[in-house]
């Protein structure tokens, strides 16, 4: 899921962000199954937000005429999701990882593209904070959302 080399052009950075959105959408399937009530509703809302970003990226990359990476049938999860705790842990990780891809798009974009990347980075950071709170993880925030550790 993680590409370690920083992209050097906007098309590549946004294509990378699209692959991250695909994987995030996939991950929220098993996450949602292990959650109940308001947490499950929040997982559905998060998944819908990632689908919205995915759709916008597919449109944008298609219009630009560059490569549009295809979705895959499945993605390797970093650890098995077997209960509520592991589902919440994965939700935090998915948002942190996706944030990193949008952050990587900032240096190579400008104008409206950069503003969209910042909005996406911020949304991922906010959802990560939300899931940390649900999981009882403290602190609820990190100093540099999306920065590679």
Partner 1 sequence: MLRAGALVAVGGAAVPLTGCDLFDRDGPEPPDPLEPLVRESRDLAARYRAAIAADPGLTDRLAPIAEAHTAHADELQRVIGRPAPSGSASPGAPTAPAGRNALLAALRQAERGGRDSAAKACAEAPGERAALLGSIAAARATHLEVLR
* Closest CB to partner 1 among residues 82, 115: 115
Long-range contacts of 124-133 (CB under 8 A, 24+ apart): 124/95, 124/96, 124/98, 124/99, 125/95, 125/99, 127/46, 127/49, 127/91, 127/95, 128/92, 128/95, 128/96, 128/99, 130/42, 131/88, 131/91, 131/92, 131/95, 132/92
Q: Which is nearer to partner 1, 7 or 34 (CB)?
A: 7
Task: In angstroms, give the least distance from the CB of 116 to partner 1.
Answer: 11
Mark residues 123-142: x for contact with partner 1 by CB under 8 A, - for none. -xxx-xxx-------xxxxx
- Among the listed residues 99, 101, 134, 135, the single contact to partner 1 using CB under 8 A: 99
CB of 41 to partner 1, least distance (A): 18
Does 52 bind partner 1 (CB under 8 A)? Our answer is no
């Amino acid at each position: 899921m993680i590409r370690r080399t920083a992209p050097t052009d906007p098309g590549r950075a946004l294509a990378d962000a699209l692959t991250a959105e695909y994987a995030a959408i996939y991950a929220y399937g098993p996450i949602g199954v292990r959650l109940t009530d308001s947490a499950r509703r929040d997982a559905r809302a998060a998944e819908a937000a990632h689908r919205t970003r995915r759709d916008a990226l597919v449109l944008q990359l298609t219009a630009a005429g560059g490569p549009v990476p295809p979705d895959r049938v499945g993605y390797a999860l970093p650890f098995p999701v077997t209960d509520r705790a592991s589902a919440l842990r994965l939700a935090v990780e998915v948002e942190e990882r996706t944030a990193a891809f949008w952050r990587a798009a900032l240096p190579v974009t400008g104008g409206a593209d950069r503003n969209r990347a910042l909005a996406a980075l911020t949304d991922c950071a906010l959802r990560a904070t939300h899931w940390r709170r649900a999981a009882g993880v403290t602190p609820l925030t990190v100093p540099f959302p999306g920065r590679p550790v």
